[in-house]
Amino acid sequence: MFTSYPMLDVILKGLLLTAMGMVWVVVLVRINGLRSFSKMTNFDFVMTVAVGSLLASASQTNNWEAFLQAMIAMATLFLVQSVTARMRRQSDTIEAVMQNTPVILMRNGQIIESALAETRVARSDLMAKLREANVLDIQQVKAVVLETTGDISVLHGHHCADEILEGTRSIPS
C-alpha cells in the first residue's frame, strides 16, 4: 500500500490509517456535538461500539476503498444518530418506539423483587450499586432506577421529588 518493504508497510499503514481515522472521528464529533458519545439511550451505546469497530477496521485495511467505506459508514452513523435524536425530540410516538422506559427497582427502602425478576437484575448487582453510591442505610434509599442505558441510578437522602421519577415504570410487587 505504501512501500515495497512489508514490515515498514505494516507500520506505516497502522500509524497513518489510525491517525486519519481518529481525526475523522474528531471532526464528526465536532460537527455532531457533545451528544455523539453520550450514553443517554441504547442507540447511543450501539453507536459508540459501532464507531469503535469501524475505526478498528479502517486502521487495519489493506486498500483505500475499504478505508473510505469505513469513513463513510462512520459519517452515516453520526447522521443517523442526529436525525433520530431530532425525531425523538419532536414526536412522543417515535420516542416510545425507540426508547425503553426506565424501571424502578427499589422504592422507599423496599426492594421490588418482581422488578428485579422482570429486568433480570440480580440482587447482588443491586447491592453492589448501593455500595457504589455510598448508601449506608437502605432505609435512606428513596429509589433505584434501571435506566434505559442499562445504568442504575441510586437516589438516596431525605427527600426525592416526584418529577425526578417522572417517566419511569413501576412494576407491581
| pLDDT value at residue 164 | 84
- Give the residue from 152, 127, 156, 130 showing the smallest Cα distance to 143: 156
Percent of the chain with pLDDT over 90: 57
3 state DSSP class of 107 = strand
70-87 per-residue burial string, b: 16 or more CB within 10 A, e: under 16: bbeebbebbeebeebbee
3 state DSSP class of 52 = helix
Average pLDDT over residues 148-164: 86
The full set of domain ranges for the chain reads: 6-96, 100-170
Identify the residue with better confidence: 37 or 156.
156
| pLDDT value at residue 113 | 95
CA 1 → CA 7, 34, 112, 154, 163, distances in Å?
12, 35, 59, 53, 58
User: How do residues 104-128 score in pLDDT, each as one tens digit?
Assistant: 999 999 999 999 999 999 999 999 9
User: How do residues 62-106 score in pLDDT, each as one tens digit?
Assistant: 889 999 999 999 999 999 999 988 898 898 888 878 778 899 999
| pLDDT value at residue 2 | 63
| pLDDT value at residue 51 | 94
How far apart are the C-alpha atoms of 50 and 44, rounded to whole Å?
10
Pick the CATH number of 100-170 from 3.40.50.720, 3.10.129.10, 3.30.240.20, 3.30.70.1380: 3.30.240.20
